[in-house]
Amino acid sequence: MAMEPVTAAMNRQEDGYEVVLALNSGSSSLKFGLYAVGPDSLVTLLSGESDGPEDPETALGRICHALANHAGPPPTVIGHRVVHGGPNLVAHCLIDPEVLKHLEVANAFAPLHGPPALALIRAAQKCFPRLPQFACLDTAFHATMPELASVLPIPSKFRSDGVRRYGFHGLSCESIIEQLAANVPDRMIIAHLGNGASVTATKTGRSIDTSMGLTPSGGIIMGSRSGDLDPGILLYLLREKGFDAKSLETLIDHESGLFGVSGISNDMRVLHRSARSSAAASLAIEMFCYSVRKQIAAMIAVLEGVDMIVFTGGIGENDEVVRATICQGLSWAGVREGASKRDNPRSPTRASCEPVVAVRTLPSKEDEQIARHSRALVTRAA
């Protein structure tokens, strides 16, 4: 319905429109969106998602096929979600040979996400050789964290190698702040809960602490990732069980979390269906909620209180049982069970419980953030 006016506007160069193809490579899927982005507007022209193990070139081929069959305008800019920028990339940027070198270095910190994202970038460069392409970093949002939160308690000599807390799901956090607009509270906690999951504390819209650390494997329990572990466990596995780096990586990233505890699945929907007949599935759900609740409580301490908690991500947005279970036990902070509301994010903040805390459920719009950043970057470079 909006295609004709959007296309007409984009034909007038003074309107500053770009057609951005946003490519969002995650740990378990590849999402894409085609957006018409102007100075004060964003219109979705096409979107889709591929799940499961599919190599980047094949997945991009499917996306190109969808674009070819699309009646609207072709992309003029491409934006990529990059989970880890490493120590040398702290802001969204144009992808050039130097940036690619830095992303190669960052693979050491994100072996689950980095290599497929780089493969997708290279495939997109082959498919769209004339278009500017930008790296939109999940880590960029957390560059505002103070040293108190970002420095890790190990010898300082490792800091020069980039060993510190980075934080992730930054594009998701940005999208929450974008949706809230003028109603962003002073002290907010964002719980991005999906196959990957993290909890972030924001002060006046800026990240001051987050649950993930050097890598996206740390923090709360996730689908197949362990989250934080006693380092002694890793030493035990190395010393007594003959593990090496590769087997530790497999254990931490692919065999742990909800999947490891339940022995059934990393999918919360499957675990809910299995919980009545499987004590292990029920325990996995309870442990996940307990882990998130503990981290929210920690972030309340960091913020010295909280004005709003926002749930987002696949689980956070859609699983009312999980949200209610997490909120149980937080009544001391003004949070009550069942407080989560799917309301208008731009409406004035309403307390969902006494005395002060609003609990909201908002969609994660990472792709739209990629589109906005890509348009801004190409406009700035013009």
Q: Annotated active-site positions, please?
A: 138
Alpha carbon distance 7, 2 (integer Å): 9
Q: 171 φ, ψ to 5°?
A: -65, -35
Closest by Cα among 124, 123, 133 to 18? 133
Q: 62 φ, ψ to 5°?
A: -65, -40
Tokens representing residue 198 in the block: 């993290």
R_g of the chain computed on alpha carbons: 21
Alpha carbon distance 195, 21 (integer Å): 24
Alpha helices in the chain (DSSP H): 3-10, 56-68, 97-106, 114-127, 147-150, 170-180, 231-240, 245-254, 257-262, 268-274, 279-303, 313-318, 320-327, 366-381
Give the bridge partners for 342, in sequence order.
none
Tokens representing residue 93 in the block: 């940027």
- Structural contact between residues 327 and 276, judged by C-beta atoms closer than 8 angstroms: no
Tokens representing residue 123 in the block: 């495939």
Buried b (16+ CB within 10 A) or exposed e, 10-24: beeeeeebbbbbbbb
- Structural contact between residues 238 and 210, judged by C-beta atoms closer than 8 angstroms: no
- Structural contact between residues 174 and 236, judged by C-beta atoms closer than 8 angstroms: no
Name the helix (H) or strand (E) containing 312. strand 308-312
The amino acid at 118: L
Tokens representing residue 356 in the block: 């002060």
SS3 of residue 13 by DSSP = helix
